[in-house]
């Protein structure tokens, strides 16, 4: 269907420096950073921001309301659907990031994106112990990043080939000169479901 809306993906690999000391990473590509006693901020890692660069609006959870672990901490709105981002922890929302509108408005143009700047919400976690056993080590996180991109390319290989993606004997390689690819909305939704459905949901 040539009339189907096409979605842009910013194909940016998260390199070694994507793992930053002082930030705790979860397997669902959400990170946590302590800001004060019983206060943390949560945000999307470089993988999520790259894939979601076609976002139209970011809607964080309501201020002064509780967010439960494995429930939505924010919603990413697209022209064709909404992605529910699930929180890895529980707490009370005490602040929103004022830079979120800039991220939604200009995410395609932000080539050197500082993902830490674009945190989603600040939570008060008093009375909600954080399970540190779920934090990924540097090795675990970088392996997770590599697997994320490999799965994404495998899912969309035929689409990416027409946009400069080269297939290698091992199943695929990344064209370092390729910064974006355009995909039909149906393929984008398929990619989200296949690569993020265990931790996030798109409708």
Q: How many domains does the chain have?
A: 1
- Is residue 114 situated within a structural domain? yes
Give me the tens of pLDDT residue by residue for the chain, a chain 203 residues long.
456 777 777 765 545 457 888 999 999 999 999 999 999 999 998 888 877 877 888 999 999 999 999 999 999 998 778 999 999 999 999 999 998 887 777 655 555 567 788 899 999 999 898 999 999 999 999 888 888 877 777 766 666 666 555 544 333 344 445 566 677 888 788 778 877 777 788 88
CATH number at residue 49: 2.40.50.100
| β-bridge partners, 32 | 24, 42
Structural contact between residues 32 and 23, judged by C-beta atoms closer than 8 angstroms: yes
Q: Which domain holds residue 111?
A: 6-202
Residues in Cβ contact with 83 at an 8 Å cutoff, skipping those fewer than 6 apart: 52, 75, 76, 192, 196, 200, 201, 202
Spatial separation of the C-alpha atoms in residues 197 and 125, rounded to whole Å: 26
Residue tagged 């076609």 (tokens):
54
- Is residue 1 situated within a structural domain? no
- Is residue 98 situated within a structural domain? yes
């Amino acid at each position: 269907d040539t009339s189907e809306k096409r979605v842009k993906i910013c194909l940016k690999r998260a390199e070694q420096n994507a793992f930053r000391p002082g930030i705790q990473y979860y397997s669902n590509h959400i990170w946590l950073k302590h800001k004060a006693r019983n206060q943390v901020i949560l945000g999307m890692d470089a993988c999520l921001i790259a894939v979601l660069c076609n976002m139209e609006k970011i809607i964080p959870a309501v201020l002064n309301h509780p967010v439960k672990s494995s429930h939505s901490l924010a919603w990413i709105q697209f022209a064709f659907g909404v992605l529910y981002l699930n929180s890895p922890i529980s707490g009370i929302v005490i602040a929103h990031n004022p830079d979120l509108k800039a991220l939604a408005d200009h995410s395609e143009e932000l080539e050197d994106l500082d993902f830490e700047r674009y945190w989603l919400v600040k939570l008060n976690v008093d009375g909600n112990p954080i399970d540190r056993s779920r934090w990924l080590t540097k090795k675990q996180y970088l392996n997770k990043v590599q697997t994320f991109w490999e799965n994404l390319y495998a899912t969309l290989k035929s689409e990416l080939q027409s946009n400069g993606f080269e297939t290698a004997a091992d199943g695929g390689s990344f064209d370092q000169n390729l910064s974006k690819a355009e995909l039909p909305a149906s393929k984008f939704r398929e990619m989200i479901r296949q690569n993020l459905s265990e931790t996030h949901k798109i409708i």
